[in-house]
Amino acid sequence: MSSLETPAFDLLSIDFEGTCEPGGVKEFGVARFGVSRLSSIQAHSPEDVMIESENFANASHRHRKFAFGTSTKVSPELLPRVVAQQVGGVRSINEDVTPGHSIDHDFKFMDALGVPIERFDNFIGIVDTCQLAREILGRGMSLKKLLETLRIPFEPTQLHCAGNDAHYTLRAMLALLYWQSTGKRLDEAVARTEKIGLLPSVVLRPVQSPQGIEMQKEAAENVEECFDSTLFANEHEAEA
Protein backbone atom coordinates (compact mmCIF):
# COMPACT_ATOMS: atom_id res chain seq x y z
CA MET A 1 0.00 0.00 0.00
CA SER A 2 1.41 3.35 -0.95
CA SER A 3 1.74 5.96 1.76
CA LEU A 4 -0.77 8.77 1.81
CA GLU A 5 0.45 12.32 1.93
CA THR A 6 -1.50 14.59 4.23
CA PRO A 7 -1.03 18.27 4.98
CA ALA A 8 1.49 19.14 7.71
CA PHE A 9 -0.70 21.64 9.49
CA ASP A 10 -2.52 21.70 12.79
CA LEU A 11 -6.14 22.36 13.64
CA LEU A 12 -6.38 24.87 16.47
CA SER A 13 -9.95 25.30 17.70
CA ILE A 14 -10.77 28.15 20.12
CA ASP A 15 -13.75 29.17 22.20
CA PHE A 16 -14.58 31.83 24.80
CA GLU A 17 -17.29 32.02 27.44
CA GLY A 18 -18.45 35.21 29.16
CA THR A 19 -18.67 38.77 27.87
CA CYS A 20 -16.30 41.11 26.07
CA GLU A 21 -16.41 43.63 28.90
CA PRO A 22 -13.25 44.17 31.01
CA GLY A 23 -12.86 41.14 33.28
CA GLY A 24 -15.92 39.53 31.70
CA VAL A 25 -14.21 36.54 30.09
CA LYS A 26 -15.07 33.46 32.15
CA GLU A 27 -13.18 30.86 30.15
CA PHE A 28 -10.85 30.38 27.21
CA GLY A 29 -10.71 26.95 25.60
CA VAL A 30 -8.36 25.55 23.00
CA ALA A 31 -8.13 22.19 21.24
CA ARG A 32 -5.32 21.04 18.95
CA PHE A 33 -4.92 18.24 16.45
CA GLY A 34 -2.14 17.52 13.96
CA VAL A 35 -3.83 16.46 10.72
CA SER A 36 -0.77 14.51 9.56
CA ARG A 37 -1.40 11.97 12.32
CA LEU A 38 -4.37 10.67 10.34
CA SER A 39 -2.19 9.66 7.40
CA SER A 40 -1.21 6.21 8.66
CA ILE A 41 -3.61 3.37 9.34
CA GLN A 42 -1.09 1.30 11.32
CA ALA A 43 1.62 3.64 12.62
CA HIS A 44 -0.44 4.96 15.51
CA SER A 45 -2.76 3.57 18.13
CA PRO A 46 -6.08 5.33 18.88
CA GLU A 47 -4.54 6.81 22.03
CA ASP A 48 -1.87 8.51 19.92
CA VAL A 49 -4.40 10.57 17.97
CA MET A 50 -6.30 12.12 20.83
CA ILE A 51 -7.24 15.77 20.51
CA GLU A 52 -5.24 17.85 22.99
CA SER A 53 -7.65 20.11 24.85
CA GLU A 54 -7.17 22.77 27.51
CA ASN A 55 -9.46 25.05 29.49
CA PHE A 56 -8.39 28.27 31.18
CA ALA A 57 -10.89 29.60 33.71
CA ASN A 58 -11.20 32.94 35.49
CA ALA A 59 -10.84 32.06 39.15
CA SER A 60 -13.57 34.53 40.14
CA HIS A 61 -16.28 32.90 38.00
CA ARG A 62 -18.18 29.65 38.34
CA HIS A 63 -17.72 27.38 35.36
CA ARG A 64 -18.83 24.00 34.08
CA LYS A 65 -16.60 20.98 34.54
CA PHE A 66 -13.95 20.49 31.87
CA ALA A 67 -14.46 16.99 30.46
CA PHE A 68 -10.99 16.46 29.00
CA GLY A 69 -8.67 17.32 31.86
CA THR A 70 -8.34 19.84 34.65
CA SER A 71 -9.11 23.52 34.15
CA THR A 72 -6.23 25.92 34.70
CA LYS A 73 -7.14 28.94 36.82
CA VAL A 74 -5.90 32.23 35.39
CA SER A 75 -6.37 35.84 36.48
CA PRO A 76 -8.04 38.35 34.12
CA GLU A 77 -4.76 40.27 33.96
CA LEU A 78 -2.83 37.25 32.65
CA LEU A 79 -5.51 35.97 30.27
CA PRO A 80 -4.37 38.04 27.23
CA ARG A 81 -0.88 36.58 27.59
CA VAL A 82 -2.28 33.06 27.85
CA VAL A 83 -4.40 33.55 24.72
CA ALA A 84 -1.40 34.93 22.81
CA GLN A 85 0.76 31.98 23.84
CA GLN A 86 -1.86 29.38 22.96
CA VAL A 87 -2.98 30.93 19.67
CA GLY A 88 0.46 32.08 18.57
CA GLY A 89 1.70 28.65 17.67
CA VAL A 90 4.17 28.10 20.51
CA ARG A 91 3.12 24.44 20.70
CA SER A 92 3.67 23.73 17.02
CA ILE A 93 6.14 24.43 14.23
CA ASN A 94 3.37 23.92 11.69
CA GLU A 95 0.92 26.38 10.24
CA ASP A 96 -2.58 26.36 11.67
CA VAL A 97 -6.14 26.19 10.42
CA THR A 98 -8.56 27.55 13.00
CA PRO A 99 -12.07 26.10 13.23
CA GLY A 100 -14.68 27.71 15.43
CA HIS A 101 -18.47 27.63 15.73
CA SER A 102 -19.73 31.12 14.83
CA ILE A 103 -16.09 32.07 15.13
CA ASP A 104 -16.57 35.80 14.57
CA HIS A 105 -17.93 35.88 18.12
CA ASP A 106 -14.66 34.46 19.43
CA PHE A 107 -12.63 36.96 17.41
CA LYS A 108 -14.53 39.74 19.19
CA PHE A 109 -13.26 38.35 22.48
CA MET A 110 -9.72 38.36 21.13
CA ASP A 111 -10.11 41.96 20.00
CA ALA A 112 -11.40 42.94 23.45
CA LEU A 113 -8.40 41.25 25.09
CA GLY A 114 -5.97 43.13 22.85
CA VAL A 115 -4.81 40.04 20.96
CA PRO A 116 -6.63 40.27 17.60
CA ILE A 117 -6.35 37.30 15.26
CA GLU A 118 -4.63 39.54 12.69
CA ARG A 119 -1.66 39.73 15.02
CA PHE A 120 -0.71 36.13 14.33
CA ASP A 121 0.89 34.96 11.10
CA ASN A 122 0.71 31.19 11.67
CA PHE A 123 -2.79 30.80 10.20
CA ILE A 124 -3.44 29.60 6.66
CA GLY A 125 -7.20 29.31 7.04
CA ILE A 126 -10.15 30.07 9.28
CA VAL A 127 -13.23 27.85 9.11
CA ASP A 128 -16.60 28.52 10.73
CA THR A 129 -18.27 25.18 11.41
CA CYS A 130 -21.67 26.86 11.50
CA GLN A 131 -21.15 28.12 7.94
CA LEU A 132 -19.57 24.81 6.91
CA ALA A 133 -22.67 22.97 8.16
CA ARG A 134 -24.83 25.35 6.14
CA GLU A 135 -22.85 24.56 3.00
CA ILE A 136 -22.76 20.79 3.51
CA LEU A 137 -26.00 20.03 5.37
CA GLY A 138 -28.12 22.85 3.98
CA ARG A 139 -28.52 24.86 7.17
CA GLY A 140 -26.57 26.30 10.06
CA MET A 141 -27.29 25.08 13.55
CA SER A 142 -26.16 25.29 17.14
CA LEU A 143 -23.15 23.25 18.22
CA LYS A 144 -25.46 20.95 20.21
CA LYS A 145 -27.67 20.29 17.20
CA LEU A 146 -24.66 19.82 14.95
CA LEU A 147 -23.16 17.20 17.25
CA GLU A 148 -26.50 15.40 17.36
CA THR A 149 -26.80 15.52 13.57
CA LEU A 150 -23.28 14.16 13.14
CA ARG A 151 -23.89 11.53 15.87
CA ILE A 152 -20.80 12.56 17.79
CA PRO A 153 -20.97 11.25 21.39
CA PHE A 154 -21.33 14.05 23.93
CA GLU A 155 -23.23 15.05 27.06
CA PRO A 156 -25.37 18.21 26.69
CA THR A 157 -24.29 19.38 30.15
CA GLN A 158 -20.70 19.55 28.89
CA LEU A 159 -21.43 22.36 26.45
CA HIS A 160 -20.83 26.03 27.28
CA CYS A 161 -17.52 25.14 28.88
CA ALA A 162 -14.96 26.77 26.57
CA GLY A 163 -12.53 23.85 26.53
CA ASN A 164 -15.30 21.34 25.84
CA ASP A 165 -16.81 23.48 23.07
CA ALA A 166 -13.42 23.92 21.39
CA HIS A 167 -12.87 20.16 21.53
CA TYR A 168 -16.27 19.26 20.10
CA THR A 169 -16.04 21.94 17.41
CA LEU A 170 -12.83 20.32 16.16
CA ARG A 171 -14.49 16.90 16.09
CA ALA A 172 -17.44 18.37 14.21
CA MET A 173 -15.18 19.94 11.61
CA LEU A 174 -13.48 16.61 10.86
CA ALA A 175 -16.85 14.88 10.59
CA LEU A 176 -18.22 17.58 8.29
CA LEU A 177 -15.21 17.38 6.00
CA TYR A 178 -15.53 13.61 5.82
CA TRP A 179 -19.19 14.05 4.86
CA GLN A 180 -18.24 16.64 2.25
CA SER A 181 -15.52 14.42 0.79
CA THR A 182 -17.42 11.12 0.72
CA GLY A 183 -21.10 12.03 0.87
CA LYS A 184 -21.43 9.81 3.95
CA ARG A 185 -22.03 10.49 7.61
CA LEU A 186 -19.08 9.24 9.66
CA ASP A 187 -20.79 6.89 12.11
CA GLU A 188 -20.07 3.56 13.76
CA ALA A 189 -21.41 1.61 10.78
CA VAL A 190 -19.03 3.37 8.40
CA ALA A 191 -16.17 2.91 10.86
CA ARG A 192 -16.80 -0.84 10.93
CA THR A 193 -17.13 -1.36 7.18
CA GLU A 194 -14.62 1.06 5.64
CA LYS A 195 -10.89 1.22 6.27
CA ILE A 196 -10.41 4.90 6.89
CA GLY A 197 -7.55 4.86 9.35
CA LEU A 198 -7.88 6.40 12.77
CA LEU A 199 -10.38 9.12 11.94
CA PRO A 200 -13.22 7.35 13.80
CA SER A 201 -11.01 7.13 16.89
CA VAL A 202 -10.79 10.91 16.89
CA VAL A 203 -14.35 11.84 15.96
CA LEU A 204 -16.39 9.06 17.58
CA ARG A 205 -14.46 8.59 20.83
CA PRO A 206 -17.00 7.93 23.62
CA VAL A 207 -17.54 10.54 26.31
CA GLN A 208 -15.32 9.91 29.32
CA SER A 209 -15.56 11.05 32.89
CA PRO A 210 -12.98 13.70 33.86
CA GLN A 211 -11.83 11.41 36.69
CA GLY A 212 -8.71 9.49 35.72
CA ILE A 213 -7.96 11.58 32.64
CA GLU A 214 -4.46 13.03 32.90
CA MET A 215 -3.98 15.37 29.98
CA GLN A 216 -2.79 18.22 30.29
CA LYS A 217 -10.17 37.41 8.34
CA GLU A 218 -11.08 35.76 5.88
CA ALA A 219 -12.57 32.34 5.93
CA ALA A 220 -10.71 29.72 3.92
CA GLU A 221 -11.87 30.26 0.35
CA ASN A 222 -12.08 26.57 -0.29
CA VAL A 223 -11.95 24.12 2.59
CA GLU A 224 -10.92 21.35 0.22
CA GLU A 225 -7.74 23.28 -0.59
CA CYS A 226 -6.75 22.94 3.08
CA PHE A 227 -7.72 19.28 3.33
CA ASP A 228 -6.25 17.04 0.66
CA SER A 229 -8.85 14.55 -0.53
CA THR A 230 -6.48 11.71 0.37
CA LEU A 231 -7.10 12.52 4.02
CA PHE A 232 -10.34 10.58 3.75
CA ALA A 233 -9.27 8.00 1.16
CA ASN A 234 -9.87 4.43 2.14
CA GLU A 235 -7.30 1.67 1.93
CA HIS A 236 -8.50 0.34 -1.41
CA GLU A 237 -8.27 3.77 -3.02
CA ALA A 238 -4.75 4.14 -1.65
CA GLU A 239 -3.65 0.91 -3.31
CA ALA A 240 -5.04 1.93 -6.69
Q: Chain-wide mean pLDDT for the chain?
A: 72
Burial class (CB in 10 A: 0-12, 13-18, 19+), 210: middle
Q: Is the pLDDT of residue 7 over 60?
A: no
pLDDT recorded at residue 159? 93
pLDDT recorded at residue 117? 86
The fourth-level CATH superfamily of domain 9-208 is Ribonuclease H-like superfamily/Ribonuclease H (3.30.420.10)
How far apart (Å, rounded) are the C-alpha atoms in residues 107 and 110? 5
Q: Is the pLDDT of residue 147 over 70?
A: yes
pTM: 0.74
Quickly state the pLDDT bin for 50 (edges 50, 70, 90). confident
Q: Is the pLDDT of residue 212 over 60?
A: no
Per residue in 166-181, pLDDT (tens digit) is 999 998 888 888 887 7
Q: Over the Cα atoms of the chain, what is R_g?
A: 17
Phi, psi values for residue 166, rounded to 5°: -60, -45
Which residues are 123's β-sheet partners? Answer: 96
pLDDT recorded at residue 145? 93
| Contact yes or no for 67/208 (Cβ under 8 A) | yes
Burial class (CB in 10 A: 0-12, 13-18, 19+), 137: middle
